[in-house]
């Protein structure tokens, strides 16, 4: 399968026109013979990419005191709990902050307040904060998240995920795509037999079909 993924990535990169921005590169799955109306059959996976995401990943944390200090040292944007209610009453600002960050963390005591005031903004974006107990270092958690992607099918048979950028090496992209592919088929009852098609493409480039080995 690694060889087929390599060929599809090579074709996608070769077919991508030059752009004035750094394009991402995605892998898209269309699955079959699975009842996604049943939530237990839906795909929802957090996958650590072995070669990283190839771009800056922004993490924010709702924190005070020592946790806030540790977060700042780790390059995490700190949002004070006092701001939660204000953000809840200013949806435009709340949406801006939600869109500016890939992941959110929070000290455990603030989770209820966040759900009450920001749940309608963060929830639909899949960005509700991950609780950080006092015994854990937020910097360590953020380091892991910076190379993590979330794959979600919801109730759709076709879903996709970004696994890098065109600036990464071919070997890095292959390693990332292979990690995602293997994880997805491991969650399907018949493995690759539940795949209708898989495509790889850059942001603006044409899709390249990945030949799936059954």
pLDDT tens-digit series, residues 63-74: 999 999 999 999
Q: Specify the pLDDT at position 15.
A: 92
Q: Specify the pLDDT at position 61.
A: 97
pLDDT for residue 214 is more than 80: no
| 197: region left, alpha or beta (phi > 0 left; psi from -120 to 50 alpha) | beta
pLDDT tens digits for range 181-195: 999 999 999 999 999
Q: What are phi and psi of 186, to 5 degrees?
A: -70, -20
The ranges assigned to domains in the chain are: 2-54+147-209, 59-145
Contact 161, 27 (CB under 8 A): yes
In angstroms, the CA 111 to CA 105 distance is: 9
The fraction of the chain above a pLDDT of 90, given in percent, is 93
The pLDDT-based confidence of 18 (bands split at 50, 70, 90) is confident
Q: Specify the pLDDT at position 77.
A: 96
pLDDT for residue 19 is more than 80: yes
**Rounded (10°) angle between helices 2-15 and 170-186:** 130
Which position has the token pair 């037999």?
A: 193
The pLDDT-based confidence of 145 (bands split at 50, 70, 90) is very high
Contact 102, 145 (CB under 8 A): yes
pLDDT tens digits for range 102-133: 999 999 999 999 999 999 999 999 899 999 99
Q: Specify the pLDDT at position 17.
A: 83
Q: Which residues contact 55 (CB under 8 A, 6 or more apart)?
A: 22, 24, 165
The pTM of this model reads 0.84
Token digits of residue 139: 């910097």
Average pLDDT over residues 95-106: 96
State the chain's mean pLDDT as an integer: 94
Average pLDDT over residues 29-38: 95
In angstroms, the CA 91 to CA 61 distance is: 18
Q: Which residues contact 200 (CB under 8 A, 6 or more apart)?
A: 5, 8, 9, 11, 12, 25, 26, 27, 28, 177, 207, 208, 210
Contact 82, 114 (CB under 8 A): no
- Domain with residues 2-54+147-209, CATH architecture: 2-Layer Sandwich (3.30)
Q: Specify the pLDDT at position 162.
A: 96
Instruction: Kindly report the CATH class assigned to 59-145.
Output: alpha beta
């Amino acid at each position: 399968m690694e060889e087929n993924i390599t060929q599809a990535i090579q074709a996608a990169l070769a077919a991508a026109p030059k752009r004035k921005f750094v394009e991402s590169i995605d892998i898209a799955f269309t699955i079959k013979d699975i009842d996604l109306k049943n939530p237990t059959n839906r795909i929802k996976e957090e996958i650590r990419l072995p070669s990283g995401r190839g771009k800056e990943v922004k993490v924010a944390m709702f924190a005070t005191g020592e946790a806030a200090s540790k977060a700042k040292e780790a390059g995490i944007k700190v949002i004070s709990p006092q701001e939660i209610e204000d953000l809840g009453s200013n949806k435009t600002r709340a949406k801006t902050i939600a869109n500016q960050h890939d992941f959110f963390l929070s000290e455990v005591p603030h989770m209820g307040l966040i759900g009450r005031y920001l749940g309608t903004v963060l929830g639909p974006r899949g960005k509700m904060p991950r609780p950080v107990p006092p015994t854990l270092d937020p910097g360590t958690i953020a380091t892991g998240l910076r190379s993590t992607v979330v794959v979600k099918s919801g109730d759709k048979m076709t879903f996709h995920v970004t696994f890098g950028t065109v600036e990464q090496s071919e070997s890095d992209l292959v390693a990332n795509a292979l990690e995602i592919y293997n994880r997805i088929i491991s969650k399907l009852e018949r493995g690759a037999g539940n795949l209708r098609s898989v495509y790889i493409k850059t942001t603006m480039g044409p899709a390249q079909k990945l030949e799936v080995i059954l």
